[in-house]
Structure formats: C-alpha cells, structure tokens
Amino acid sequence: MEDHQKRKAEMEKQMKMLEHNMTLIKYKIAVMSGKGGVGKTTTAVNLAMGFKMMGYSTGILDADVTGPDVALMLGMEGRRIEQTGPFGMMPVMHHSGIRVMSLAFLLQTPDTPVIWRGPLKTTVIRQFLAEVYWDQLDFLIIDLPPGTADEPMSVGQLIPDLDGVVIVTTPQDVALLDVRKSIGMAGKMNVPVLGILENMSGLIFTCPDCGKVTEIDLFGKGGGEKVAGELGLPFLGRIPLDVKIPEDSDKGNPFVAEHPDSPAAKAFKEAVKMIVAKLEEEK
C-alpha cells in the first residue's frame, strides 16, 4: 500500500476508536479562558473532584499540551503511564479514583519544555481521545490552554458532541474582554457555554493572631457576573482567593476535598451542582 493510503487507513481506524471511546462518556466538558493564570487548571481539577465527590465517575484530559499542569495540581508529577489498555494506554489513576491523562505522564522530566506546532498538538489530543481507554465515565473534564489557539479548535472538531464549556475569568475589566473572545470561540466550535466562573474574586483572609476571617476586595468583584448577565449566560459563581488552594494542589488533593467547608470549596461545589442540573435538564 502507498504510504499516504496507509496513513489514511490508520487515521480512519483511530477516528473510529475515538468515536467509540466518546460514546462511553456521558458528559464531556471543556474548561477555557481568554488568558493564562486565571485558574483554569485549578477549576478543572476542583470541578472534577466535585463531580467525583457527588459519586460520578470522572476523568480529566489535560489538553494544555505546552503547559501540562494537571498532573502537578493533582500531586501526580513524576507518575508515568503504567498499563496498556485495549486501544493503547490506560489513564493514570489519581488516589481519589479520577482517571487522568496528560502529556506530563509521557515526558522524560517534568520540566522538559514542549515546543510544538499546531498539527502535532492536534495529533496528541487525538491520541489521548482515541487511544486512551477512558472506559465508561459520567464526566470527562478537558483542561484547555489559554486563548483561542489550536487546541480548543481541535477538541471542538474531534468531539462534535462536546456538552459545553465553562469559561473562567478574573473579575477585572481586561479579563472580561477575553471572556467575549472565549465565547466567540465556543460559538465557532458550536458548543454551548455552560456558564462563567469568576475566580480570584475577593480574598478570604484569616488573621493569624485572632483567627478572624475577613473578606478583602482585592481585584474587584462581580465583573464575571456582570458579563454573564449582559450576554444572557449562566453565572456559575465566585471563587475567592484562598492561599490554601495552591497549598492543597502541592499536596495533591484538590481544595474541594481538602477544605470542603471553606467558602471557595462551597462555591466550587455549587458550580458543580449547577452544571449537573443544567446538563441533566437538557439530556
């Protein structure tokens, strides 16, 4: 067979596996934002943990190929693919039972820089969807890189029945401009916006001397809710800044599980409930 014919046949086989894999997953949700550092990966792991805590079987796909942080935030850096599955790889299991796949599990060292062009990124994401044995899942959360680059487009094309995107923003006005771009992207991908989550919204500060808890308005508040209102999109809530969030991810247990009664964890759990309600009402 000619080389390109062989490649075409392989690609068709892979797309069949991908389609089959996706039929086993009930809800597929991507987390996106206009820019980096707003808390997408934090949101992806805490939403996933929130679904898990409600008893749903859950997986996370790290589609941020050039900055694969999911493993780090789940305390799984240094882990490697351990088993092969029927189509290629088995996801790596977090101690909570969340199934995780990230390029980090395939890299030699965690700080290996990943400098790839678009087509290669698409190849990796396609492989992670087709050749990883996700098995039956209630939720697959896909952590996207910032912006409107190749990855969101690839995810949109490879998963035509993507159930929706969650858009993460910080409260400032500049961030809100990016929200509009993300919404435009979701539109191009033909995917519904499940809602907007405002992260780093106010600072919860516990006084080390007297233990008094104060909320400080650090970067402003309410911008995400305002833009959601203007655009007629659901507002999924405000997640305050909490120093325990980065601490917990260093320890490998997402904040919602480690500090379930804190205001930020309660806000994440509320967002999880709203997403479940919205999806269940539509199916």
Ligand X SMILES: Nc1ncnc2c1ncn2[C@@H]1O[C@H](COP(=O)(O)OP(=O)(O)O)[C@@H](O)[C@H]1O
Residue (45 or 124) nearer to ligand X, CB: 45
Question: From residue 15 to residue 34, what is the string marking binding to ligand X with x (rule CB under 6 A)?
Answer: ------------------x-
Structure tokens at 235: 């507002």
At closest approach, how far in Å is the CB of 223 from ligand X?
Answer: 15
At closest approach, how far in Å is the CB of 259 from ligand X?
Answer: 11
The region that residue 220 occupies, defined by phi over 0 for left and psi between -120 and 50 for alpha, beta otherwise, is: left
Give 61's contacts (C-beta < 8 A, 6+ positions apart): 101, 102, 125, 128, 129, 132, 140, 141, 142, 143
The dihedral sign for the CA sequence 235, 241, 246, 251:
negative
Residues 54-93 that bind ligand X (CB under 6 A): 69
Structure tokens at 78: 């240094």
- Answer for which of 17, 25, 30, 40 binds ligand X (CB under 6 A) is 40
Residues 67-96 that bind Mg ion (CB under 5 A): 69
At closest approach, how far in Å is the CB of 216 from ligand X?
Answer: 12
Residue (41 or 154) nearer to Mg ion, CB: 41
**Minimal CA–CA distance to 233: which of 152, 154, 176?**
176
- Answer for which of 170, 182, 249, 262 binds ligand X (CB under 6 A) is 249
The dihedral sign for the CA sequence 152, 158, 160, 162:
negative
Instruction: Tell me: does residue 62 bind Mg ion (CB under 5 A).
Output: no
- Answer for which of 9, 217, 246, 282 binds ligand X (CB under 6 A) is 246
Return the DSSP state at 104: G
Instruction: Tell me: does residue 36 bind ligand X (CB under 6 A).
Output: yes
In total, the chain counts a number of residues equal to 283
- What residue ranges bind ligand X (CB under 6 A)? 33, 36-42, 69, 199-200, 239, 241-242, 245-246, 249, 264
- What residue ranges bind Mg ion (CB under 5 A)? 40-41, 69
